[in-house]
Amino acid sequence: MSELVLEVRNLSLAYGATLAVKSISFEAFEDEILAIVGPNGAGKSTLLEAVAGLHMAREGSIAFKGRSLTGTSVFRRRLMGIVLVPQDENIFPGMTVRENLEMGAFRTRRGNVKQKLQYVFDLFPRLKERERQMANTLSGGERRMLAIGMGVTGEAQLYLIDEPSVGLAPRIVTKVLESLKTLQRDTARPIVVAEQNTKVLHVAQRLLGMEAGERRFFKSVGSLSQERLKELYLGLCEREREA
Amino acid sequence: MEILVRGLVNGVIMAGILGIPVMGIAVIYGMTGIINFAIGSIGVFSAYITWYFMDRNVLLAILLGLSCGFGLGYLIQVLLLTPVFERRKGDLNLFFLITNSLGLIFVGLTRVIFPRPTIRLDLPRLGSLTLLGVSLTGMRLFAVLFVVGCLLLLWLVETRTRVGKSWRATSQNLRLAKVVGINTGQAFAVASGIGCMLGSLGAILWGSLYNLTLTTGFQLTFTGYIIAVVGGIGNIIGGMVAALIMGMVISFGGYGFAGAWQSVVLYGIAMVVLVLAPKGILGSERSV
Ligand SMILES: Nc1ncnc2c1ncn2[C@@H]1O[C@H](COP(=O)(O)OP(=O)(O)OP(=O)(O)O)[C@@H](O)[C@H]1O
Ligand SMILES: [Mg+2]
């Protein structure tokens, strides 16, 4: 029986008067990759950011390893091991690639930093080549790799990764999503990933479908045929990016 | 020729003295995005403390004044400015009012605690030496060396140490800095502490060259602020370049026009620069 790590109950989040997330419930277990899927504006990013502490709940609660996170700051949540890779503004523009990765590893035990950096460089050799380059001069795809790399250098109890595949070439998309699987296996930590690419069906164990802030389905990938899953998924995303 | 050398040397010295509060403003703004208009008054308050204990031991009195500046800056940030910032990010008017009120509070406190309207700090001259035919007291030379030393130290800390890098990260992307687990509240507090400590040093040096009155603080803040804006606020090197220019203007102006015209020329130049380059000489990532 694997351990329950994250438990979200009837969570509602709002920007001013508009609700972006409406009474969402889900949980994540230690040994899984959970994909949050849904069209633009569904509320995926808002939900992940709320787990990391960037938004206050309008209603409902978030519990991490049995402890309520209400009132816990972003900083404290990071110390507890909740690592977020944001969708936007996810690098430090005026620092080099290496410095960015070091900042990603800011709370990693000193002795493990080297090994973590090596792990990232093995995952994205491109970053190794550009170690001394300023982050604001990277291409869009390289930036995305760096942002993911910064998350991977952290010692996490829970990874929250927002749209890792955006802007990456198809071959790299497959590689990045596969690398999530490796990361999950190597660290035995749950990964909650927001994703629009259907390739995520090959790596996730469960899917949380969202639309307009509401939960549409919450299903185990193994329980359904790939065709049925794709149907569900495409029902949400009218416009699919790539086959 | 001799006038030129004398003017240059004096200009550099003046720049060093002006540069200290400028650096204080730039350090705080660069990190927090807040312009603290109270640093001059906090500086004068600390300088009064230095003055009070000066008979006992000059060095200790100075250290006490500087620690007081740091402590006040740190506490103000933690107890007041950061909590307000969390709710009202980037509300420049609000912070203008808050920090100016703070400045007035410290002017009042200075008046209540030290009922002396004007003081002069007799710092040891630290000997004197003759440089390129110009005779200087050690204290003036110290001001210049201190500014250069501070710049060098800041650069080393920010590029070589883990903590320094986390400060740069905080100033570049506050949200992400929190997300990766940097204690941004502490980084803000340290920046505010260092800024107010520099304000205190500026006031102490000012008090050793001229007089300190209750309102000198606002004069220091305002001059520092204008120079910082001319250089590109938050851009420390830009601030130092602007301080150098202003130092030269003051120094050479002394031959060309009488003291009364000094502020007209100085602030006239500031206005012209800001009209031509609203982001200051070297520019700034954030703009005022
Ligand atoms: N800062 C904000 N202020 C006001 N509304 C916002 C803000 N951020 C997001 N929203 C709104 O909240 C809703 C959910 O946005 P969110 O970014 O969570 O969607 P998403 O599912 O991540 O979309 P995408 O796939 O495009 O990233 C959207 O309707 C969006 O317009
Ligand atoms: Mg999003």
- Report the CATH number that the domain containing residue B48 is assigned in CATH: 1.10.3470
pLDDT computed for residue B5 by the predictor: 83
The 10 Å Cβ neighbour count of residue A243 is 6
Residue B103 has pLDDT above 80, yes or no: yes
Place of tokens 């030269």: B248
When CB atoms are compared, the residue of B166, B173, B179 closest to A74 is B179
How far apart are the C-alpha atoms of B254 and B11, rounded to whole Å? Answer: 10
Question: Do A150 and B175 make contact, defined as CB atoms within 8 angstroms?
Answer: no
Q: With respect to residue B224, please indicate whether it lies within any of the assigned structural domains.
A: yes
Instruction: Pull the structure tokens for residue B200.
Output: 């205190």
Q: For residue B165, tell me if it sits in a domain.
A: yes
User: Cα dist. B16→B150, B153, B199, B242, B251 in Å?
Assistant: 11, 16, 13, 11, 12
Between chains, do B173 and A78 touch, taking CB under 8 Å as contact?
A: no
Give the predicted TM-score (pTM) of the model. 0.88
Q: Which residue has the higher pLDDT, A146 or B264?
A: A146
Of all atoms in ligand 1, which is nearest to the CA of residue A16? 4
Nearest CA to ligand 1 atom 14: A43
φ/ψ of residue A179, rounded to 5:
-65, -25
Q: Is 70 exceeded by the pLDDT of residue A238?
A: no
Give me the domain span that covers residue B17.
2-276
Domain of residue A17, CATH code? 3.40.50.300
Mean pLDDT for the stretch of residues A113-122: 94
Residues in chain A: 243
- On whether residue A150 sits in a domain, the answer given is no
Separation CA A62–CA A68 (nearest Å): 6
Task: Establish if A153 belongs to a structural domain.
Answer: no
Q: How far is A104 from chain B (nearest CA, A)?
A: 6
Helix (H) or strand (E) holding A159: strand A158-162
Angle at B205 (CA atoms; ends B199, B208), nearest 5 degrees? 140
pLDDT tier for residue B285 given thresholds of 50, 70 and 90: low
CB A127 within 8 A of CB A120: yes
Query: Does A86 map to a domain?
Result: no
Q: What is the pLDDT of residue B229?
A: 86
pLDDT band at B112 (very low <50, low <70, confident <90, very high): very high
For chain A, give me the number of helices (H) and strands (E)? 8, 10
- Total domains, chain A: 1
The confidence score (pLDDT) of residue B255 equals 64
Residue A80 lies in a domain: no
Asked if residue A58 has pLDDT above 60, the reply is yes
Mind listing the pLDDT tens digit for each residue in A129-179? 999 999 999 998 899 999 999 999 999 999 999 999 988 888 889 988 998
Q: In this structure, what is the dihedral angle of CA atoms B98, B201, B67, B240, given to the nearest 10 degrees?
A: 70
- Give me the helices (H) in B127-258, please: 138-160, 162-172, 174-179, 184-209, 216-231, 236-256
The H-or-E segment that residue B17 falls in is helix B2-32
Average confidence (pLDDT) over B171-195: 95
Find out whether B180 and B173 touch, Cβ atoms under 8 Å: no
Q: What is the pLDDT of residue B278?
A: 79
Q: Is A27 helix (H, G, I), strand (E, B) or coil?
A: strand
Report the pLDDT averaged over residues B82-106. 90
Whole-angstrom Cα distance, residue A64 to residue A106?
A: 21
Which of A11, A18, A193 is the best mutation target for the ligand 1 pocket, counting ligand atoms within 8 Å of the beta carbon and taking the most?
A18
How many Cα neighbours within 13 Å face the side chain of A176?
A: 29
Residue A99: how many CA atoms within 13 Å on its side-chain side? 26
Those of residues 138-197 in B touching chain A at CB distance below 8 A are 162, 165-166, 168-169, 172-173, 175-185
pLDDT tens, A60-95? 999 999 999 998 999 999 999 999 999 999 999 999
Long-range contacts of A179-182, Cβ-Cβ distance < 8 Å, separation of 24 or more = A179/A123, A180/A33, A181/A33
Q: Please, are residues A239 and A38 in contact by the beta-carbon 8 Å criterion? A: no
pLDDT at A241 over 70: no
Helix (H, G, I), strand (E, B) or coil at B241: helix
Q: In this prediction, what percent of chain A has a pLDDT beyond 70? A: 95
Beta strands A18-29; A4-15: pairing state = antiparallel
Average pLDDT over residues A38-49: 94
Q: How far is the CA of B158 from the centre of ligand 1 (A)?
A: 35
Distances (CA, A) of B45 to B39, B52, B54, B74, B203: 10, 11, 14, 15, 9
Residue A147 in domain:
no
d(CA A209, CA B47): 63
| Any domain includes B161 | yes
Contact yes or no for A1/A31 (Cβ under 8 A): no
Tell me, yes or no, whether B285 lies in a domain: no
**Could you tell me the distance, in angstroms and rounded to a whole number, from the CA of residue A218 to the centre of ligand 1?**
21
d(CA A223, CA A231): 14
What is the rounded distance in angstroms from the CA atom of residue B122 to the CA atom of residue A173?
A: 70
Report the nearest-CA residue for atom 6 of ligand 1. A15
- Give me ligand 2 centre to Cα A239, in Å: 16
Mean pLDDT value of segment A38-47: 93
Q: In whole angstroms, how large is the CA radius of gyration of chain A? A: 17
CA distances from A241 to A165, A168, A210, B210 (A): 11, 12, 17, 70
Q: Which domain holds residue A241?
A: 1-75+194-243
Is B286 within a domain?
no
Q: Are strands A214-220 and A206-211 parallel, antiparallel or unpaired?
A: antiparallel
Residue B194 lies in a domain: yes
What pLDDT is attached to residue B178?
95
How many structural domains is chain B composed of? 1
Residue B86 lies in a domain: yes
Evaluate whether residue B288 is within a structural domain.
Answer: no
